[in-house]
């Protein structure tokens, strides 16, 4: 399976956050492939961003992973109940990452639905709100702090350019989309950084 290289993650975090849109995230779990198309990201850069956990190069047990080599999974827990997956970017020692905010399901949908909703049916409402938040994505992919520090160029969790690179069926005819940028969500505490337009979304054209 072809996957994004470490050099991809080593690029500028804002460029990586935009470039990740449309990529395929693959999680191999119990012999099954769970996959989704990245449709929303946020960038966090420790050297200048008060919303970043490692702002000002602050190293703690929680943030140590942010200083790892590019292409490392940084997973943390918020509110004591939701996990968030981030992709470490830039050269090793620079605390920066891209938060995965949302994906569209590509493969393993039934397994992801069980992980998200248990035995409840995948109604229209649940389908609409299936994977449209970082905590929802992690739950559907069974990602917790246990997976913090995973190598994104390995076999357990990785990204690739298209479904075929993961051995999956190609998409049908492409739908026209555009990239929308704006402020990140939930960072009102971050003073001037709360207004940084570092959230990137794919929006389908009418």
pTM of the model: 0.96
First and final C-alpha spacing in the chain: 34
How far is residue 75 from each of residues 121, 149, 205, measured CA to CA in Å? 28, 8, 32
46-74: string of b/e by CB count within 10 Å (b at 16+)?
beebebbbbbeeeeeeebebbbbebbbbb
Is 164 within 8 Å of 26 (Cβ atoms)?
A: no
Is 22 within 8 Å of 206 (Cβ atoms)?
A: no
> Following CA atoms 104, 182, 17, 68 in sequence, which dihedral angle do they give, to the nearest 10 degrees?
-110
Tokens 């012999």 correspond to what residue?
31
Radius of gyration of the chain (CA): 16
pLDDT, residue 107, reads 96
Is 104 within 8 Å of 131 (Cβ atoms)?
A: yes
pLDDT, residue 11, reads 98
pLDDT tens digits for the chain (206 residues)? 789 999 999 999 999 999 999 999 999 999 999 999 999 999 999 999 999 999 999 999 999 999 999 999 999 999 888 999 999 999 999 999 999 999 999 999 999 999 999 999 999 999 999 999 999 999 999 999 999 999 999 999 999 999 999 999 998 877 899 999 999 999 999 999 999 999 999 999 87
pLDDT, residue 202, reads 97
- Return the SS3 of 153: coil
Is 95 within 8 Å of 54 (Cβ atoms)?
A: yes
Q: Which helix (H) or strand (E) holds 103?
A: strand 96-107
- Tell me how crowded residue 147 is: count the other CB atoms within 10 A of its CB: 17
pLDDT, residue 79, reads 85
Backbone angles phi, psi at 194, to 5 degrees: -65, -20
């Amino acid at each position: 399976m072809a996957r994004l290289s470490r050099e991809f993650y080593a690029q500028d975090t804002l460029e990586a956050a935009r470039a990740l849109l449309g990529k395929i995230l693959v999680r191999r779990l119990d012999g099954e492939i769970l996959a989704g198309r990245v449709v929303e990201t946020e960038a966090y850069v420790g050297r200048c961003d008060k919303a970043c956990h490692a702002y000002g190069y602050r190293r703690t047990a929680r943030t140590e992973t942010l200083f790892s080599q590019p292409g490392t999974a940084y997973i943390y827990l918020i509110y004591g109940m939701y996990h968030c997956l981030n992709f470490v970017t830039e050269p090793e020692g620079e605390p920066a990452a891209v938060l995965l905010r949302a994906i569209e399901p590509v493969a393993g949908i039934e397994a992801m639905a069980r992980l998200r909703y248990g035995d409840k049916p995948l109604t229209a409402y649940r389908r609409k709100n299936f994977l449209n938040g970082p905590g929802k994505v992690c739950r559907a992919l069974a990602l917790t702090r246990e997976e913090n520090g995973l190598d994104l160029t390995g076999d357990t969790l990785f990204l690739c350019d298209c479904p075929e690179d993961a051995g999956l069926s190609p998409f049908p005819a492409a739908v026209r989309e555009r990239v929308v940028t704006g402020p990140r969500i939930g960072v009102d505490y971050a003073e001037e950084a709360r207004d940084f337009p570092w959230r990137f979304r794919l929006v389908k054209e009418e």
